[in-house]
Structure 1
Amino acid sequence: MSSIICGPIARCVLALSLAGCAVLIPAAAASAASEPTRIRLAQADAGMPATFSAEQADHGKELYDHQCTECHGSDLSGGLLGGPPLRGAGFAQKFFDGAPASGLFLFMSTLMPPNAPGRFSASAYADMMAYILKRNGFRAGAELPSDVDALDNLILKK
């Protein structure tokens, strides 16, 4: 697995390109000053496919409809304010095909919404992610966790 590892003093960022826009994601803070921060870039070594509960996706749809539709569209194909599509081949290429579920979750929870990144609870981001996964053809099952370490062990693969 490829990673970027940063020492306890260095600040790291991961640059992602989404619909032609470069975006910088701050690295998660290390749990202790002496531990390095790790950002996973490649596919998860192994893991169970990510699933979500139907209730979780329903709640995520409510949140999405109120918070995300203007930018990403009601059908997740891109909105009036220029937000990129959240479904389709381009989106899947960036976040799916065996990637750890933590990648999409961290992207959402550290950058969205652009005017107030991180403003929702971890469970609200997990619910919105569940809705996005549902709209991308993933199947329901066990609830999608809101813990990054747990999401690191799940892969986004249909």
Structure 2
Amino acid sequence: MAQHPIFAKQAQKAKGFCAALLAVTGLAATTHAALAAPRHASATPPAPTAPSFTAEQADHGAQLYAGTCAMCHGAALEGAHDMPPLRGLFVARWANTPLNKLYAYITHAMPLMAPGTLPLQDNIDVMAFLLRENGTEPGHTPLPADENRLAQMVFPAPNALPPVKAAQPGKAPRTR
């Protein structure tokens, strides 16, 4: 059956519009892909580095932990009140994860009853404490508060850490 000339003309315009829309969409997608690609991309990303923090950061983090975190996670990081321990499975879960991810989690989700209320440097110091208490030795370079630099550091894997000594009553376990 033949189409009415008015409908045939509208169908022709619709086909032209669809073709133009597809062309513009394709051009936009190509342009976006070209702009998103790095201009001087290296063949391999830089290797992640071990975290570095100072003993002072970890000591300050221990004080913050005792006052802010221990009521839920336990004085010796053993977990309490349905909250997970911050050693063992915690280390396995965060192993080889860039520290900016842990930093973002702590910053936005902790403390549980008042998330995001700690100053950013306090969150860094709590991370330094967690690293130390899970076997990473302090160094001379502070753990940075810069998320881009934290993204280059990973939480050490359990097999990369020295064994943890057994806890004495009332004290958190420490490494050798």
TMscore range, shorter length: 0.5 to 0.7
- Which stretches of structure 1, 4 residues or more, deviate above 3 A after TM superposition? none
1:84-124 Cα shifts (integer Å, max 9, x gaps): 11011x1112111x221111111111100111111011100
- Give the CA deviation at 1:45: 5.9
Q: Percent sequence identity over matched residues?
A: 36
Amino acid paired to 2:93 = K
TM-score (norm 2): 0.61
* Residue ranges of structure 1 left out of the alignment (5+ in a row): 1-34, 36-43
CA positional deviation for 1:82: 2.1
* Aligned equivalents of 1:100, 1:116: Cα separation in 2: 25
Name the CA distance, whole Å, in 2 between partners of 1:102 and 1:114: 19
Give distance in 2, aligned partners of 1:114 and 1:47.
30
Give the paired residue count.
Answer: 113
The whole-number CA distance in structure 1 between the counterparts of 2:125 and 2:50 is 17
Q: Which residue of 2 aligns with 1:123?
A: 121
- Secondary structure of 1:99's counterpart equals coil
Larger Rg: 2
* Structure number having the greater helix percentage: 2
With normalisation by structure 1, the TM-score equals: 0.67
Distance 1:53 1:153 in 2: 18
Asked whether 1:50 is paired with 2:48, we answer no
Residue of structure 2 in register with 1:67 after alignment: 68
Q: For residues 31-50 of structure 1, what are the structure 2 equivalents within 5 Å?
A: 46-50=47-51
Structure 1 vs Structure 2 CA RMSD: 1.7
Q: Which residues of structure 2 form unaligned runs of 5+?
A: 1-35, 37-44, 161-176
Matched position secondary structure for 1:156: coil
Write 1 or 2 for the structure with the bigger share of strand.
Answer: 1
